[in-house]
């Protein structure tokens, strides 16, 4: 009896030693991101475990950092940062131009399957830097009860949108609400054929199309059929919409679960954004798995293997099956997402084909601030649409001169 | 035993003055050593690094070290005083942003510091009264807003002051004709609003109003804080008076009761006692509170980060927020550190001035 | 003991008598209004932390908890209950959904970390800040003025630009991702030294001279005579240090941001907030705020009496 106890103990000790010995021979890579919903975090953890099972020599340490960008920037500056990490499309050019990312586009499995607009977002100086994790697009979210009561059809053009907003607006309810900010305005710019930068990288913002787009956007608010979320007493457009204070809003996939959880009494549906004179356009917000540059990455191969595993055809299926807010970045997984999430959300997927990137050249932070201020000032009547465009174009030019 | 020690100490005291000076120097440095080390390594060295970065065009991202720990000289170039020039002298968006931030910050400081100091002193004096019942409750209640982190407090404040929030609903219940004010998104300057009520506007005051100083028209310099900024000022005052009250309270406790008794015997009135005894005796504490107030308000950041991010129309853009915006949002760490150094110099000058005024120089 | 007392005046005119009656009443009214403005927001915070999500959005001002208590926010089939089902007017049915969600996170661990950081840093600051503050206030030594001005100067630069250089130093010293990286840089703070220095300056120097005559050396005198007299200031310092550490976010983020096991409550709370972006899950977040704030509030209530009762100095002064 005693002997067997001793034997087991010795065996256990040997086992423990050999396991720890193995662990020492292991490669450890850090994967850093921000935290999403509990369900999404759990799904990512499961995907990482599947990767570890398939690659027994690699350990993955999953990090969810609060204030992610500040956390990452501190790491970048010191040269000591995680091997694999989320890169918001908005930050791609800043980070790629600073040399903290390793482009691994040529090692992505079947990259043609990834939506083309998304591949373009993560391409900097003709190199595809990283593979997208998932994405969201903007669509028109509308209150079905209000539409029915007012007898309004779902708008498909600018004219119809304006008319619908006017018909739906009442004393207490705005026809439409959006954040008074660049990402909500940009679809109009593109729908009208405007642009911020020309093909050659020069500033092309200052155009009649752009001014007309600002006039249209600002016009909703000055006419009173549109009201800002703050004006409606809400923190953001989704909240105002959920509270029934607005009949329409322009929001992304993240609004789905929010409305289901927090406003079970509101009846709503989704449509593609109405087309402008120059056709359809929406914004894509996406995140990729960046890999740390070779100079700061001791486990480059393992890092790329992990990123490719999470974003490859299988990874996309995992994202789709979860049925979370964001959509899989691969066309092959779109149907699986719609099945899991609901067919009625097809307009978000459709946007993937014609979405424009929420992404800017390095140093464009103050451009966005200036533009946001301009939109607010125009609504307050302190600036004209032409002045808004002019001041923003000036700042864009300054940013480009600065960086060259 | 006590006598022996006493004799010994007398002997020590009559030893040469140079000797006691040396002992003081040793004692002083021994007392200071741990504090000095920590402050030097974790505050002074980083500050020197910031001064260095302010002379470069570093973007705050390019790694300063490579993976093997060697210094990466290609992370930045030296640009001399260019960052300072762009902030302070050259016409352009950088200069305009800096002076807008300076204007907003100065209004913030001038509004908050006197009010929070006076309110804190008032509350401390009242809470210190002998007749007061439930002192513990009141002290805790006044300190309460200081307890939570500024992020939590700011979120609660936003919740209350939302344009359809509890505050507006309350006002509307009392004054039915009241039109909702969007407290947290109103760029109207309060001095402009007051002048406007008197019929004075940009167009009626004459040509000087459009003259630009540092990229900003004179009329805009006189805007006063915007409504939103005023709300953040109130929030800031509300959360800091608790802390300041506690400091005043501990100082009030330190004034010996006998001093007041003597004054009472001499027939001094309550007001006289306050002016002639309390205020002078609180001088070092007042200097401390105002210095802290200046340092804290000049660097106001958290509430702005959470509530307004510098908007609406840049009216809550403060210098500290501009530092964050250029360094972490706009990828211009060189410019951000230069802004921080200029802010440092401004605070330093203000502190010296207030030291003269409050008589803090006698306290140091 | 009290500062300006309205009832101490010897000879009283009728006017003063009336004033003596009226002033306390006015005082109480002012105090109660002031106290209400400080407390009401927290009552609302607590109330909303106990609501189901739809009720937070629909009836934020409801503050009267009515039975049934502990209602479920979802039907057994998983449907979210509408706002009207759990609130009406100013009343609501309390639910613990927010707290359940918060406690599913690592809240217990973050609470323990917060407590460790706060207690250790507080104790170290009580000793080190007072030592330095005393030296600056009372010992004439070469460089003291420069030290004081330099120390004040460190408070005048926005902390955000020191973040990256400080992280690099911490990394060189091998202090990233462990307790030492949090505690050592924060065990002294300029604010505390300044506070203690200003306090020691108000202590009459004859007390020290008396102690010196008794042959006490500087250290003995400091710990035996000076520190016990400093109870009010030490209490203030203890509370500020504890609270500063309890709420500290940025300093801790850069040291242990990547290691969830070493997070404190503010990092955890920010993690909860970051999860949902704009679509803040209010009841969960407010529940987290209550859990974060409550220990500090209790601690303050327990210690605040030392501002008054702990002051041994007033007794000594008459000797």
C128-157 per-position pLDDT tens digit: 999 999 999 988 888 888 999 899 899 998
pLDDT on residue A23: 47
Grouping H, G, I as helix, E, B as strand and the rest as coil, residue B182 is: coil
Predicted confidence (pLDDT) at residue C319 exceeds the cutoff of 60: no
Q: Assess B220–A contact: CB distance below 8 Å, yes or no.
A: no
**Residue of chain C minimizing CA distance to A263:** C54
Give the pLDDT confidence of A24-39 residue by residue, as tens digits: 468 899 999 988 777 7
Q: Assess A362–B contact: CB distance below 8 Å, yes or no.
A: yes
Which is more confident, C16 or C97? C97
Least confident among A225-229, A319-323, C201-205: C201-205
Q: Is the dihedral of CA B175, B178, B180, B183 positive or negative?
A: negative
The Cα–Cα gap between A103 and C66 comes to: 59
pLDDT on residue C275: 57
The Cα–Cα gap between A300 and A83 comes to: 8
Contact A32 C258 (CB under 8 A): yes
Least confident among A185-189, B70-74, C178-182: B70-74
- The nearest CA of chain A is from the CA of C85 a distance in Å of 11
- The nearest CA of chain B is from the CA of A306 a distance in Å of 20
- Band (pLDDT 50/70/90 cuts) for residue A7 is low
- Beta strands A127-128 and A123-124 are antiparallel
Among candidates A73, A370, A382 on the partner chain, residue whose Cβ is nearest the Cβ of B61: A73
Give the pLDDT confidence of A191-242 residue by residue, as tens digits: 999 999 998 889 999 999 999 999 999 999 999 999 988 788 777 899 899 9
Give the pLDDT confidence of C261-302 residue by residue, as tens digits: 899 988 888 887 765 555 667 788 888 888 888 888 888 778
The Cα–Cα gap between B24 and A334 comes to: 78
CB A311 within 8 A of CB A128: no
3-state secondary structure string across C20-83: HHHHHHHHHHHHHHHHHHHHHHHHHHHHHHCCCHHHHHHCCCCCEECCCCCCCCECCCCCECCH
* Alpha helix (H) residue ranges in C155-281: 159-172, 179-186, 190-200, 205-213, 218-221, 227-229, 231-247, 250-256, 265-276
Supply angle C-alpha A208, A212, A217, rounded to 5.
150
* Alpha helix (H) residue ranges in A26-85: 38-54, 68-78
The Cα–Cα gap between C234 and A14 comes to: 54
Contact A265 C54 (CB under 8 A): yes
Among candidates C128, C169, C232 on the partner chain, residue whose Cβ is nearest the Cβ of B254: C232
The Cα–Cα gap between A34 and C275 comes to: 7
pLDDT on residue A390: 94
Local structure of residue A157 (DSSP, 8 states): B
Domains of chain B: 12-75 (no CATH), 86-189+224-363 (1.10.3720.10)
Phi-psi region of C67 (alpha: psi -120 to 50; beta: other; left: phi over 0): beta
Contact C164 A77 (CB under 8 A): yes
Q: What is the mean pLDDT of residues C87-110?
A: 86
pLDDT on residue A402: 78
The Cα–Cα gap between A382 and B205 comes to: 19
Backbone angles phi, psi at A294, to 5 degrees: -50, -40
Q: Is the dihedral of CA C284, C285, C286, C291 positive or negative?
A: positive
CB B244 within 8 A of CB B293: yes
Predicted confidence (pLDDT) at residue C105 exceeds the cutoff of 90: no
Q: Assess B262–C contact: CB distance below 8 Å, yes or no.
A: no
- The nearest CA of chain A is from the CA of C240 a distance in Å of 25
pLDDT on residue C133: 94
Considering only CB atoms, which chain B residues are within 8 Å of C11?
267
- The nearest CA of chain B is from the CA of C195 a distance in Å of 7
Predicted confidence (pLDDT) at residue C314 exceeds the cutoff of 50: no
Which of A29, A32, A39, A66 should we substitute to test contact with C (largest number of C Cβ atoms within 10 Å)?
A66
| Maximum alpha-carbon separation in chain C | 82
Grouping H, G, I as helix, E, B as strand and the rest as coil, residue A140 is: strand
Would you tell me which residues 82-101 of chain B have a C-beta closer than 8 angstroms to some C-beta of chain A?
Answer: 92-93, 97
Q: Assess C303–B contact: CB distance below 8 Å, yes or no.
A: no
Report the range out of A330-339, B202-211, C228-237 with the highest average pLDDT.
Answer: A330-339
- Band (pLDDT 50/70/90 cuts) for residue C312 is very low
Distances in whole angstroms, Cα of residue A298 to Cα of each of A29, A293, C135: 9, 9, 49
Least confident among A152-161, A330-339, B106-115, C85-94: C85-94
The Cα–Cα gap between A318 and A315 comes to: 5
The Cα–Cα gap between B293 and B118 comes to: 12
Question: Closest Cα partner for B254 from C207, C131, C138?
Answer: C207
Count of other CB atoms within 10 angstroms of residue B152? 23
Residues 6 or more apart from C150 whose CB is under 8 A from it? B44
Residues 6 or more apart from A372 whose CB is under 8 A from it? A180, A181, A182, B311
Question: Closest Cα partner for C35 from A276, B126, A42, B18?
Answer: B126
Considering only CB atoms, which chain C residues are within 8 Å of A82?
258
The Cα–Cα gap between A309 and A47 comes to: 9
pLDDT on residue A369: 84
pLDDT on residue A103: 97
What's the mean per-residue pLDDT of chain C?
Answer: 81
**Residue of chain A minimizing CA distance to B65:** A79
pLDDT on residue B215: 82
The Cα–Cα gap between B165 and C60 comes to: 8
Terminal CA-CA length for chain A = 79
Predicted model pTM = 0.86
Contact A63 C168 (CB under 8 A): no
Domains of chain C: 14-96 (no CATH), 102-317 (1.10.3720.10)
Task: Name the percent of chain A lying above pLDDT 90.
Answer: 66
State which H helix or E strand residue A282 sits in.
Answer: strand A282-291
Q: Assess B14–C contact: CB distance below 8 Å, yes or no.
A: no
Record the tokens describing residue A340, joined without a space.
Answer: 């899991």
Q: Assess A370–B contact: CB distance below 8 Å, yes or no.
A: yes
Distances in whole angstroms, Cα of residue C3 to Cα of each of A307, B122, C269: 68, 11, 41
Among candidates A65, A73, A236 on the partner chain, residue whose Cβ is nearest the Cβ of C278: A236
* Alpha helix (H) residue ranges in A230-364: 237-242, 255-262, 300-311, 313-322, 334-341, 346-351
Local structure of residue B181 (DSSP, 8 states): P
The Cα–Cα gap between A46 and A84 comes to: 17
CB A402 within 8 A of CB A381: no
Predicted confidence (pLDDT) at residue C309 exceeds the cutoff of 70: no
Q: Specify which residues B50 forms β-bridges with.
A: none
Give the pLDDT confidence of B87-102 residue by residue, as tens digits: 999 988 889 999 999 9
pLDDT on residue B128: 82
- Band (pLDDT 50/70/90 cuts) for residue C104 is confident
Annotate A134-191 with DSSP letters as a single string.
Answer: EEEEEEEEEEHHHHHHHTPPPP-BHHHHHHHHHHH--SS-EEEE--SSHHHHHHHHHH
Predicted confidence (pLDDT) at residue A123 exceeds the cutoff of 90: yes
Domains of chain A: 27-136+285-357 (3.40.190.10), 137-283+360-403 (3.40.190.10)
Q: Specify which residues A250 forms β-bridges with.
A: A140
Contact A372 B310 (CB under 8 A): no
Which residues of chain B, if any, have pLDDT below 50?
1-5, 7, 363-364
Considering only CB atoms, which chain C residues are within 8 Å of B343?
156-158
């Amino acid at each position: 009896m005693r002997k067997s106890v001793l034997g087991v103990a010795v065996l256990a000790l040997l086992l423990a030693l050999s396991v720890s010995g193995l662990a020492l021979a292991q490669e450890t890579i850090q994967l850093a991101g921000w935290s999403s919903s509990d369900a999404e975090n759990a799904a990512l953890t499961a995907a990482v475990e599947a990767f570890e099972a398939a690659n027994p020599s690699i350990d993955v340490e999953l990090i969810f950092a609060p204030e992610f960008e500040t956390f990452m920037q501190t790491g970048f500056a010191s040269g000591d940062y995680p091997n694999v990490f989320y890169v918001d499309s908005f930050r791609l050019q800043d980070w790629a131009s600073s040399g903290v990312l390793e482009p691994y586009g040529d090692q992505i499995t079947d990259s043609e399957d990834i939506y083309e607009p998304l591949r373009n977002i993560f391409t900097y100086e003709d190199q595809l830097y990283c593979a997208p994790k998932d994405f969201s697009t903007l669509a028109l979210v509308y209150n079905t009860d209000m539409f029915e009561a007012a007898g309004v059809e779902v708008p498909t053009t600018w004219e119809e949108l304006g008319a619908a907003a006017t018909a739906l607006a009442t004393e207490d309810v705005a026809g439409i609400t959006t954040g008074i900010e660049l990402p909500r305005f940009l679809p109009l710019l593109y729908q009208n054929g405007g642009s911020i930068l020309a093909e050659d990288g020069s500033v092309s913002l200052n155009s009649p199309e752009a001014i007309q787009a600002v006039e249209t956007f600002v016009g909703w608010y000055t006419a009173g059929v549109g009201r800002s979320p703050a004006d409606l007493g809400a923190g953001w457009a989704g909240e105002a919409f959920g509270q029934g204070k607005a009949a329409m809003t322009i929001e992304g996939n993240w609004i789905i679960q929010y409305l289901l959880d927090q406003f079970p009494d509101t009846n709503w549906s989704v449509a593609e954004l109405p087309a402008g004179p120059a056709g359809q356009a929406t914004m894509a917000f996406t995140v990729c798995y960046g890999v740390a540059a070779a100079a700061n990455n001791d486990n480059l191969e393992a890092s790329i293997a992990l990123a490719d595993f999470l974003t490859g055809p299988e990874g996309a299926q995992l994202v789709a099956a979860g049925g979370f807010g964001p959509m899989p970045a691969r066309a092959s997984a779109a149907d699986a997402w719609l099945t899991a999430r609901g067919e009625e959300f097809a307009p978000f997927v459709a946007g993937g084909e014609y979405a424009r990137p929420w992404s800017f050249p390095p140093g464009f932070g103050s451009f966005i601030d200036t533009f946001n201020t301009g939109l607010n000032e125009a609504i307050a009547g302190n600036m004209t649409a032409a002045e808004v465009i002019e001041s923003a174009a000036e700042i864009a030019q300054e940013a480009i001169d600065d960086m060259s | 035993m006590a006598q022996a020690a006493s004799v010994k100490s007398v002997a020590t005291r009559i030893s040469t003055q140079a000797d006691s000076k040396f002992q003081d120097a040793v004692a002083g440095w021994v007392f200071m050593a741990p504090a000095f080390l920590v402050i030097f390594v974790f505050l002074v060295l980083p500050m020197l690094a910031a001064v260095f970065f302010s002379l470069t065009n570093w973007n705050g991202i390019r790694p300063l070290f490579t993976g093997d720990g060697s210094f990466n000289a290609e992370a930045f170039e030296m640009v001399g005083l260019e960052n300072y020039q762009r902030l302070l002298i050259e016409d352009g968006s950088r200069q305009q942003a800096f002076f807008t931030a300076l204007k907003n910050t100065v209004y913030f400081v001038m509004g908050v510091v006197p009010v929070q100091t006076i309110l804190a002193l008032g509350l401390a004096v009242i809470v210190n009264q002998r007749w007061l019942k439930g002192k513990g409750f009141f002290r805790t209640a006044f300190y309460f807003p200081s307890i939570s982190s500024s992020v939590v407090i700011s979120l609660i404040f936003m919740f209350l002051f939302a344009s359809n929030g509890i505050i507006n609903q309350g006002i509307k219940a009392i004054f039915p004709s009241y039109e909702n004010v969007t407290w947290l998104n109103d760029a109207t300057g309060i001095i402009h609003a007051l002048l406007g009520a008197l019929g004075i506007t940009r167009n009626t005051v004459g040509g000087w109003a459009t003259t630009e100083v540092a990229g900003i028209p004179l009329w805009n310099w006189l805007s006063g804080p915007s409504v939103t900024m005023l709300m953040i000022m109130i929030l800031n005052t509300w959360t800091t008076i608790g802390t300041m009250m506690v400091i005043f309270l501990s100082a009030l406790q330190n004034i010996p009761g006998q001093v007041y008794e003597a004054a009472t015997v001499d027939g001094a009135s309550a007001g006289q006692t306050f002016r002639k005894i309390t205020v002078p005796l609180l001088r070092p504490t007042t200097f401390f509170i105002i210095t802290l107030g200046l340092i804290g308000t000049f660097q106001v950041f958290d509430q702005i980060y959470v509530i307004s991010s510098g908007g609406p129309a840049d009216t809550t853009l403060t210098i500290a927020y501009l530092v964050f915006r250029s360094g972490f949002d706009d990828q211009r760490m060189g410019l951000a550190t230069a802004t921080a150094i200029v802010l440092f110099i401004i605070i330093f000058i203000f502190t010296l001035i207030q030291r003269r005024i409050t008589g803090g120089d006698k306290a140091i | 003991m009290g500062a300006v007392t309205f009832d101490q005046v010897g000879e009283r005119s009728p006017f003063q008598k009336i004033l003596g009656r009226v002033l306390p009443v006015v005082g109480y009214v002012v105090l109660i209004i002031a106290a209400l403005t400080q407390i009401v927001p927290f009552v609302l915070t607590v109330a909303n932390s106990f609501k189901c999500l739809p009720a937070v959005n629909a009836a934020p001002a409801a503050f009267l908890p009515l039975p049934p208590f502990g209602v479920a926010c979802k039907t057994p089939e998983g449907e979210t209950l509408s706002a009207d089902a759990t609130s009406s007017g100013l009343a609501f049915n309390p639910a613990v959904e927010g707290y359940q969600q918060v406690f599913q996170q690592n809240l217990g661990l973050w609470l323990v970390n917060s407590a460790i950081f706060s207690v250790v840093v507080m104790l170290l600051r009580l000793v080190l800040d007072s030592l330095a503050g005393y030296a600056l206030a009372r010992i004439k030594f070469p460089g003291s003025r420069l030290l004081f001005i330099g120390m004040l100067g460190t408070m005048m630069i926005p902390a955000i630009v020191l973040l990256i250089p400080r992280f690099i130093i911490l990394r060189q010293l091998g202090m990233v991702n462990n307790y030492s990286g949090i505690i050592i840089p924060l065990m002294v703070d300029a604010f505390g030294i300044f506070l203690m220095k200003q306090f020691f300056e108000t202590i009459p120097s004859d007390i020290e001279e008396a102690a010196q005559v008794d042959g006490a050396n500087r250290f003995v005198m400091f710990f035996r005579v000076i520190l016990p007299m400093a109870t009010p200031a030490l209490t203030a310092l203890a509370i500020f240090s504890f609270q500063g550490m309890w709420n500290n976010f940025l300093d801790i983020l850069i040291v242990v941001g990547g290691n969830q096991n070493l997070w404190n409550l503010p990092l955890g709370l920010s993690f909860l907030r970051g999860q949902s972006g704009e679509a803040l899950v209010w009841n969960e977040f407010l529940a987290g705020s209550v859990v974060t704030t409550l220990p500090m509030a209790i601690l303050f209530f327990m210690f605040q009496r030392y501002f008054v009762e702990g002051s041994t100095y007033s007794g000594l002064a008459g000797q």
